Every structure is written in structure tokens, then in C-alpha cells.
Amino acid sequence: MTPSLRGQRTASAALLGLVTLITAGALVAVTTWMGRDSVHLWQAGESVRAAEELEIALLQHSRERRLLEVTEAVEHAHAMREAETQAHYWLEQARGHVGGASEAELLAEVAREVEAYFTRARSDSASGLLVGTSDPALETILELTEHLVSVNVTDARNLMEEAQRWDQRADIIGLLALLMLLTGVGVVLWAERRLVYRPVELLQRALVGLQLGSAWTPAPELGAQELRNIARAFNDMVSRLERQREAQVSFLAGVAHDLRNPITALKLAASGAGSGEIPPERALQRLAMVERQVERLGRMVNDLLDTTRIEAGQLDLHLAEHDLAELVREAVELHRPISDRHVLELQVPEHPTPVRCDATRISQVLNNLLSNAIKYSPEGGPVRIHLMPADGGYRITVTDSGVGIAPAEKESIFEPFRRSASTRETIPGVGLGLAVARKILAAHGGSMDVESEPGKGSTFSVRLPITNAPQSA
């Protein structure tokens, strides 16, 4: 299925949006993970700092304790209490930056040893016991804090390595995102060229070729659905213009052909009349021939005028109530004397068939159908005319046993200047009568169609409503 311009633009936006969403999601995940590692790394650093500050406070307490024993100065007792307070503070700080269960257990052991150390120190000071050069309890605490520092340093190193791995992953994701974005842009540009720019370029070439007057090449129906529709409409329009041009050329050829015979007959009659040697009977024959040719020229001119009025939207109807059966009878009686080889068979209702119409125009339609039925049945035969009620109006059928119409030409014969290819060269005509007749019926709210088979004749059907339809040209 060919996408529309809106669908193509939506798909392009969706593709680029999906690439952007995937890229953004990947970057958010990486930055989130790296942010978590940064928090853990900061906690490990703070835990190391707290452990080292705890060691400093304990060593300060041990130093002040020995000085107090030697000097018994009060300031050393105050310094001991200050060191003990600092040790408890940093111990609490270390508890706030615990990074795992093993670290929590180790810190709990350190806290127990520190409390035991301070309790024992206060007891020894109260009893007057002296501190030796080394304190095993303090050494145990220091070993535990060093172990705590080692654990956090190891964790920090692992976090740094993990952060480096995530940084590498971020670089890879960035490169992949850039590659996906470039690929998406390339796909969008390719789709734009295939579905939009290339079809527009080909359509422009077709337009330029048409303007230059060269042989017309149909515009390819490519690209988005809207551009296909434009190209199809352009091709249809140019095809109609080509058909109209061909019809005009054919019309000029037909007019020239139809004018040649009457003009030749008129010239012959005029040359004979000038000599004064034509017998009266021959003169009457030539006069009748001149009358027929003049009538033929009059019909041609009238058809041309009617076509001009219809195309200009100036077809005026003088509507009144008329008996359609009577109009059909008049048309049939008018054409009976035209040919001895044709038998006109009329079938109309006995009762009146009132319709609101322009009698002159409807008679023009009937005359055209009867004239064609006779003209396109050169071998003679019956011509059946049937008037019957049908669908809120009346239906008139004119059936002949003539040359018939090819299936592909059943609609084209109703176009101005279009005639059947099989009779164009053998039977004179311009190709306006049926086009004018159908337009007249359409202005009455009626219609005309044809059923035909080549070699077996044709049946033209006219439908005319009883009530007046809105007049339109």
C-alpha cells in the first residue's frame, strides 16, 4: 500500500522519535547507574575519612591520658573528654556511610571495642592505674579501623573500575546513537526523495514538456498517494485535451467533408441554371437537391450553435405542458417519406402522455435519433419507436437494425465531435447531434443511453420525467 504524505511524514517523525527515545533511555540508564556509583564512591570516601578521624581521636585520647598521668594537669583531662567526644562523633559519621553488611558488622565491632576502651580508661583513671607504653585494646581498635579503611578503599577501587566500564559503555552507546540517528536521517531522506522529490521532479518535467509543445509523455504515477493522485489527474486532463484536439481535427475534417457535397451540388445547380438549357423536370430535381443540401447545412449550423450555447451554459428552455405521444408521432411522420427502404414502426399509448418540456428541443432530440436510425441503417429495415411509462416519467426507445456500435464507443459517441470509427469514413456527419441531444435531456432532468452490438443494430433509450426538472446547461 502506497503511503500518503501525512503517513510518510508521520512515519519519519516516529522513526526519528524512536531513535531519540532509545538513545535518551540508554543515556538515562547509564547516567543513573553512574550516579549511583558516584554516591557509593562518595560514601566510601566519607567512611574512610570517618575511620581515619576516629583513629586520630583515639590516638589523641591516648596521648592526653599519658600526659595527664605525668603532669596531672587539668587541661589534659579536658582534652581527653574532647577526644572522646570526637571519637563518638566520627563513629556516628561512619555509621551513616555504611556500604554493606560486612562493613556494618566490622563497624559494630569497632564501636564495641571503642566503648570498652573508653569505659576501661575512665575506670583506670578513677582507680589511679597507670597506662603502659602500649595499650592492647587501642591497638586492636586501630587494627579494626585500618581494616575498615582497607574495606572502603577496596570498595572505592571497585566502584572506580565499574564507573570506567560504564563510561566506556556510555561512549559506545553515544556512537551507536549517532549511527542510529544518521541511519534514521538517511532513511528519512531516502523516503523523501523516493516518495516526494523524485515524483515532483518527474511531474515538473512532464509539465515543462507539455508547455514546450513536444510530444506528451505521461507523468509517472509514483511516490506518495497525493502525488500519485496529482499525476493521475494531470494525465487524465492531458488525455482529455488530446482527445479534444483529435476531436477538433476530426470535426474540421467532418465539416469540410460535409460542406464539400452541398457546395458541389449548389455549384452544379448554379452552373446549370445559368445556361438556360435545363428541361423543367431536371430543373425541379436540381431545385429539390438544392433544398435538401440547404436544409442539411442548416442542421449543421444549428447543431454548432446549440453546442456553443450548451458549452457556454446558455441553453434556454421554454417549458410548457405537452403530449409526448403527439411529439413522437409528429417526428415519425416527418421521417416516413425520407427513405423507401426503412419501415418506421410506432407504438405509443392511446391515452395522453403529458410532460412539462420544451417541445422544440424534445422534437430536436427525436429527430436526431430517427435521422441517425435511418442514416446508420444503409441497408434499410425496420425502425421501431416505442413510448411507454417508466419510473415517474416516460421512456422512449428507438431501435434500428443497422451497423451497430462497438462496446468501447458506447460513451464516446455522446462526446462532441466524436463518431464511431467504423462509420466515420463512410457515413457523413460531424458528431454533434447525440452530444446536443443528451445535454437537452439533462436540462430536462432526463437521460439517454444506448444498447448496441456491432452488425446487429442499436437501441437508444430516452428517459423523460413528467414533472419539470431544474433547468441546467
- For the purposes of burial, counting CB atoms within 10 Å of the CB of 61, is it exposed (0-12), middle (13-18) or buried (19 or more)? buried
**Which cell numbers hold the place of 331?**
417526428
Q: Write down the pTM of the prediction.
A: 0.47
Query: Residue 470: its pLDDT value, please?
Result: 47
Query: Residue 274: its pLDDT value, please?
Result: 56
Considering the domain architecture, whether residues 13 and 87 belong to the same structural domain is answered as: yes
Give a yes or no: residue 208 inside a domain. no
Q: 62-90 in b/e burial notation, b at 16+ Cβ within 10 A?
A: bebbebbeeeeeeebeebbeebbebbbeb
Residue 449 reports pLDDT greater than 90? yes
Query: Residue 324: its pLDDT value, please?
Result: 93
- The H or E element spanning position 450 is strand 447-453
Gap between the terminal Cα atoms of the chain: 41
- Tell me the mean pLDDT in the region 350-378: 90
Considering the domain architecture, whether residues 307 and 445 belong to the same structural domain is answered as: no
- Tell me the mean pLDDT in the region 144-157: 82
Considering the domain architecture, whether residues 280 and 339 belong to the same structural domain is answered as: no
Structural domain of 238: 225-311
- Tell me the mean pLDDT in the region 358-379: 90
Considering the domain architecture, whether residues 294 and 326 belong to the same structural domain is answered as: no
Query: Residue 472: its pLDDT value, please?
Result: 45
**Residues paired with residue 386 on neighbouring β-strands, in sequence order:** 347, 397
Considering the domain architecture, whether residues 70 and 154 belong to the same structural domain is answered as: yes
Give a yes or no: residue 285 inside a domain. yes
Give a yes or no: residue 197 inside a domain. no
**Which cell numbers hold the place of 351?**
391515452
Of 349-363, 375-389, 412-426, the least confident: 412-426
Looking at 265, 280, 311, which one is the last position of a domain?
311
Considering the domain architecture, whether residues 184 and 238 belong to the same structural domain is answered as: no
Give a yes or no: residue 416 inside a domain. yes
Residue 407 reports pLDDT greater than 90? no
Query: Residue 127: its pLDDT value, please?
Result: 64
More confident residue, 91 or 307: 91
- pLDDT-based confidence at residue 327 (cuts at 50, 70, 90): very high
Considering the domain architecture, whether residues 380 and 268 belong to the same structural domain is answered as: no
Looking at 135, 159, 188, which one is the last position of a domain?
188
Considering the domain architecture, whether residues 139 and 104 belong to the same structural domain is answered as: yes
Q: Hey, how many other C-beta atoms are within 10 angstroms of the C-beta on 345?
A: 11
pLDDT per residue over 240-263, tens digit each? 777 777 767 766 666 666 666 667
- Tell me the mean pLDDT in the region 412-421: 73
Considering the domain architecture, whether residues 280 and 381 belong to the same structural domain is answered as: no
- Tell me the mean pLDDT in the region 225-242: 80
Give a yes or no: residue 378 inside a domain. yes
Give a yes or no: residue 412 inside a domain. yes
Give a yes or no: residue 193 inside a domain. no
More confident residue, 237 or 333: 333
- Tell me the mean pLDDT in the region 377-399: 91
Structural domain total, the chain: 3
Q: Which of 321, 328, 303 is nearest to 439 (CA)?
A: 303
DSSP classification of residue 391: T
More confident residue, 306 or 364: 364
Reduced to 3 DSSP states, what percent helix, strand and coil does the chain have, rounded to the nearest 5? 70, 10, 20
Considering the domain architecture, whether residues 367 and 336 belong to the same structural domain is answered as: yes
Give a yes or no: residue 200 inside a domain. no
- Tell me the mean pLDDT in the region 30-35: 76
Highest mean pLDDT among 2-6, 151-155, 377-381: 377-381
Query: Which amino acid, 140?
Result: T
Considering the domain architecture, whether residues 337 and 243 belong to the same structural domain is answered as: no
CB-CB contact of 377 with 343 (8 Å): no
Looking at 143, 160, 188, which one is the last position of a domain?
188
**Which cell numbers hold the place of 230?**
496529482
CB-CB contact of 352 with 325 (8 Å): yes
pLDDT per residue over 264-297, tens digit each? 766 766 666 655 566 777 667 667 767 766 776 7
Q: Check which CATH number belongs to the domain holding 245 and give it.
A: 1.10.287.130
pLDDT per residue over 35-75, tens digit each? 777 777 788 888 888 888 888 888 888 888 888 777 878 88
Considering the domain architecture, whether residues 413 and 440 belong to the same structural domain is answered as: yes
Q: What average pLDDT does the structure give for the chain?
A: 79
pLDDT > 90 in the chain, percent: 14
Q: Check which CATH number belongs to the domain holding 447 and give it.
A: 3.30.565.10
| Geometric angle at alpha carbon 91, from 85 and 95, rounded to 5° | 145
